[in-house]
């Protein structure tokens, strides 16, 4: 699952809460979030930064927006970003927690042509490979396309995924065979690969379809895909396991402070 989060000054953020059995991938677009967990690991995630947290057998953490001067004055829109939850296969669900954290400048970019910039958060694009290790094979790409550009992104045929449009307008598919779909800001486009190994994405003028604001904007979107685990999955609240029984056991472990949650007591 993914969520887009806008945090205001007075009432926002995610105080202490637990996780087990999956990974959270936090990618900031604007503003800052401060993170801290029960091991003492803490830091601040700023615009363009990435935190890839493997909760594994147990994490209790908080994620709170940092108040900027603009937020205090009511002129800024706060902390704005994406968080993706990635399921872990059964063999990794009880692994030790781990973090992979990259500043914006540390995330490699592919520039296959002028007016096309691809941040390679996970996986590979146009010869550029991410340094992020993925226990569940994952492709996570941030695209910025100027108008009248076309990019073709390879995707393994076994993957499933989606495109989430942050701003602007994109055309996905091949218009020459009548299989092109339009995506606009804040829309999610589910990819139907059907054995295909590439996805074609295009930006056009489309002045008659765009607002005055959109006409000035480049298209900005993320493409996220991954290898299906093909195991039973049960998500209840902050825990993602293979059965209801395992989720109930996790709640008991959390209440008792055992099996990965020992540090919740202090």
Predicted confidence at residue 96, as pLDDT, reads 96
Element (H, E) at 98: strand 98-102
pLDDT digits (tens, 9 = 90+) for 16-40: 999 999 999 999 999 999 999 998 9
Residue 91's CB: how many other CB atoms inside 10 A? 9
pLDDT digits (tens, 9 = 90+) for 127-165: 999 999 999 999 999 999 999 999 999 999 999 999 999
What CA–CA distance (Å, rounded) separates 34 from 179?
43
What CA–CA distance (Å, rounded) separates 48 from 201?
22
User: Starting from the edge strand earliest in sequence, which strands make up the sheet with 198-202, in order?
Assistant: 150-154, 198-202, 169-174, 179-184
Annotated binding-site residue numbers for Fe cation: 17, 19, 61, 63
Annotated binding-site residue numbers: 17, 19, 61, 63
Query: In the chain, what percentage of residues exceed pLDDT 70?
Result: 87
């Amino acid at each position: 699952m993914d969520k887009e989060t806008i945090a205001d000054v007075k009432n926002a953020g995610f105080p202490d809460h637990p996780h087990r059995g999956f990974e959270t991938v936090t990618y900031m677009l604007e503003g800052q979030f401060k993170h801290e967990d029960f091991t003492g690991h803490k830091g601040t995630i700023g615009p363009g930064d990435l935190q890839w947290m493997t909760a594994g057998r147990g994490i209790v953490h908080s994620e709170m927006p940092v108040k900027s001067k603009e937020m205090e004055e009511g002129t800024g829109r706060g902390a704005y970003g994406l968080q993706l939850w990635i399921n872990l296969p059964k063999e990794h669900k009880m692994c030790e927690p781990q973090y992979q954290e990259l500043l914006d400048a540390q995330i490699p970019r592919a520039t296959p042509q002028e007016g096309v910039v691809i941040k390679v958060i996970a996986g590979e694009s146009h010869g550029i490979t991410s340094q992020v290790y993925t226990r569940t094979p994952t492709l996570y790409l941030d695209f910025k396309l100027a108008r009248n550009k076309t990019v073709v992104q390879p995707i393994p045929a076994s993957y499933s995924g989606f495109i989430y449009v942050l701003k602007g307008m994109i055309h996905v598919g091949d218009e020459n065979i009548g299989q092109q779909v339009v995506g606009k800001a804040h829309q999610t486009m589910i990819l139907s690969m059907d054995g295909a190994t590439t996805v074609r994405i295009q930006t056009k003028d489309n002045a008659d379809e765009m607002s005055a604001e959109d006409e000035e904007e480049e298209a900005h979107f993320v493409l996220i895909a991954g290898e299906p685990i093909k195991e039973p999955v049960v998500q209840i609240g902050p825990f993602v396991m293979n059965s209801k029984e395992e989720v109930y056991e996790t709640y008991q472990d959390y209440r008792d402070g055992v099996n990965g949650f020992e540090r919740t007591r202090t």
